[in-house]
Amino acid sequence: MPAERSVGMDHSHYPYSPLPTRSALTWPSGKPLAMGALVLLEHYEWDPPPDAYSLRNSSGGLIKLPAPDYVQLTHREYGHRVGVFRLLDTLERHGIPVTVAVDKLTAVHYPWLIDHLMQRDCELVAHGVAASQLITSKLSEEDEAEIITDCLDTLEKLSGNRPSGWFSPEGVESSRTPELLAAAGVNYVCDWPNDEQPYKMTTPVGDLVSLPLFLEVDDEFALWHRRASLASWEGMIVAAATRLHVDGQTSARHMMLTLRPWLTGQPFRIRSLDRALRQVTQLGGVWAAHGNDIVKAFSES
């Protein structure tokens, strides 16, 4: 709906809230910066349903090739076979609990990997059906609600835990998504990269917490779409964390790194993440946490 020229947001998902006017946020540990990592396990179908919507500039591969694009499909598949283990090893080495966004088709086709993630104490976040089936306003409300429930049910069945968090495939939502997530019992959503603290979303059927990701240091945004050099990306992560660590002494902040196994999990990229995390964790005063720990701390504050 077009904006009305009146005070506040042009939608009803959350009110405007300038950060300096908020009461000070503190983390339970008293540390100024909460650091988390959201690793994305995304399934790209070689033959998506004809009415499915995918991004026009989906990443991976070389150029847009006529189907079947082996190059793009296998580049992405690298993450599930090889890259994910480098990310897990690196994050664990720096003591950062790993939150993993998993879509339904990944869970169905890679049961070994789901078991492995659970054994390594990862938190699973629900991530829709597939990266080749986005949730957009073109879906009916009924279909969208069904997709959300189906994804949560599948992950619960295959992992033993019902996810409390949600990240839409490619961060794409319809205008109904927050309400449908709240109706499905989801506790937090990662689709809105607009803040350095979690905040409350309200819907007609209940509240939801928005846990913003940090878009500019998102590996796909920085390294694939913007083609930042690895040295520049490493510097960005460290500079952002250093500043948030300072600003967080007034009111605590969080930083969620979004990492793709097929991208940062490549042999030549993993070393840059490793160096960045070594510097970030040396800041002291960093509370490394799962997404749901940060949300819980926010909700109880």
Partner 1 sequence: MALPPHRVDYLPMADRPKISWPDEAKVALWIAPNIEHYEYLPPRDPRRNPWPRSPHPEVQGYSHRDYGNRVGFWRMLDVLDEYGVRCTASTNLAVFEHYPDIGKAMTERGWEIMSHGIYNTRYLSSLTEEEEREFYVDCVDTLRRHTGQDLKGMLGPAVSNTVRTPDLMAEAGLIYHADWLHDDQPIPINVDNGPLVSVPYSIELNDVPVFLHHHDTAEFVEMVKAQFDTLYEEGENSGRVMALALHPYLMGMPHRIQALEEILDYLLGHDAIWQTTASAIAEHFIEHHYQEFVEHAEAISAVHDAS
- The amino acid that residue 5 corresponds to is R
Longest CA span, the chain: 54
Q: Convert residues 109-138 into a mask of x (bound to partner 1 by CB under 8 A) and - (unbound).
A: xxxxx--x----------------------
Residues in the chain: 301
Is residue 40 within 8 Å of residue 218, measured between CB atoms? no
> What's the closest the beta carbon of residue 155 comes to partner 1, in angstroms?
15
By three-state DSSP, how is residue 86 classified? helix
By three-state DSSP, how is residue 87 classified? helix
CB-hemisphere CA count at 13 Å for 270? 17
Interface residue with partner 1, options 12, 13, 19, 85 (CB under 8 A): 85
Q: Does 81 bind partner 1 (CB under 8 A)?
A: yes
Q: Convert residues 29-58 into a mask of x (bound to partner 1 by CB under 8 A) and - (unbound).
A: --------------xxxx------------
Is residue 208 within 8 Å of residue 188, measured between CB atoms? yes
Question: Would you tell me how many other CB atoms lie within 10 Å of the CB of residue 3?
Answer: 8
Interface residue with partner 1, options 31, 59, 75, 212 (CB under 8 A): 75
Element holding 270 (H helix, E strand):
helix 267-281
> What's the closest the beta carbon of residue 225 comes to partner 1, in angstroms?
11
Give the interface segment with partner 1, choosing from 27-35, 62-70, 234-242, 252-260 (CB under 8 A).
62-70
Of the pair 128, 178, the CB lying nearest partner 1 is at: 128
Contact positions vs partner 1 (CB under 8 A): 43-46, 61-62, 65-68, 70-71, 73-78, 80-82, 85-86, 105, 109-113, 116, 227, 229-231, 266-272
